[in-house]
Structure 1
């Protein structure tokens, strides 16, 4: 699996060809720090003064490198796929090896940082349901109008929330069929490959 880099990212990463390997290594450190703590304009300004370029060039270079490292880490691409992805940039062999080493050294840490940044979604705790049937009303003496009321209890970060949903049996049946179809899709080879790459 190869990384897809936009022209903008290629342009941002192009700056790495103008600096020596020690600076690229420092950019890698700044990129990981950027993921941990967010952007720091002072670091960009200090590096810009040392390299005699604008701070925007430094920022774009770090952001391009951050994108390269995070996308590779997210997909857990292999060494060969990473090298093939970087080949399209037209860098020297030495710079390609340096980028590969940066990726290999930092991918586990980047994955853990990305895991912490991921939103914590609510999880299922319990469910209560009730079937209500209206048999008649003032205007209609004979009518059958069923409704299913569902009380869904969710856990999120130790807090419990409750959601109440109401639907008719036909819609509920359709929802069940769609969920069963989705579960069936998860058993296909294509989905298994995707899930393996996400983990």
Structure 2
């Protein structure tokens, strides 16, 4: 799977071809540090003074490298796909090899950082339901008004919570149909190919 870079990212990464390979290696180290601890403008300013360029240009270069490393690590693309992805940048073979080395050395650590930064979402634990039907009333003698009440139990680590939802059978049937359509789509060959590349 190839990594698709926007024109803006290509422009930001283009700065790497103007600096020494040791500087690119240092930018890679800074990018991984920023993933762990967050951005630090003082580092951009110090590097900009040494390289005699604007701090914004250094920031864009580091952020472009950070994007390249995170997206490649997130998709766990192979060495060949990574090389093909950076080939469109028009870098020298030496710089392409250096970027590949940075990716291979840091991909496990970047994936660990991304898994820590991923939000923890509650997930399904149990479901209780009840069907209520009002058969008649004095005001409306012949109208049937069924409602379905659902109590959805969610788990978030050791913490459990419950959500109560109420709907009519027609809306519930529509929701079931949409979920079944989504599950059928998940079994399609196109979707399986995408899932294979994500994992």
**Separation in structure 2 between the aligned mates of residue 108 and residue 197 of structure 1, nearest angstrom:** 17
Question: C-alpha distance in 2, partners of 1:51/1:137?
Answer: 82
Partner of 1:178: 178
User: Which residue in the other structure is 1:50 paired with?
Assistant: 50
Residue 197 (structure 1) shift: 2.2
State the 1:189 CA deviation.
2.0
Q: Distance in 2 between matches of 1:142 and 1:4?
A: 61
- After TM superposition, the structure 1 = structure 2 runs for residues 91-106 of structure 1, keeping only pairs within 5 Å, are 91-106=91-106
* 2:158 corresponding residue in structure 1: 158
User: Within 1, Cα distance between the matches of 2:72 and 2:117?
Assistant: 17
TM-score (norm 1): 0.95
- TM-score, normalization by structure 2: 0.95
Q: Distance in 1 between matches of 2:179 and 2:31?
A: 40
Counterpart of 1:196 in structure 2 is: 196
5 Å-filtered alignment, 1:32-71, equals: 32-71=32-71
Give 3-state SS (helix, strand or coil) of 1:90's partner.
coil
Once the two structures are TM-superposed, the CA of residue 72 in structure 1 deviates from its matched residue by 1.0
Shift of 1:98: 0.5
Hey, which bits of structure 1, 4+ residues long, moved more than 3 A? none
Structure 1: which 5+ runs fail to align?
none
Structure 2 gaps, min length 5:
none
Q: Deviations over 1:93-144 (max 9, x none)?
A: 1001100111111111111111111111111111111100001122111221
Distance in 2 between residues matched to 1:180 and 1:5, nearest whole Å: 34
Question: Matched residues in 1 for 2:8 and 2:141: separation?
Answer: 68
Q: How many residues align?
A: 199
Give the superposed CA RMSD: 1.2
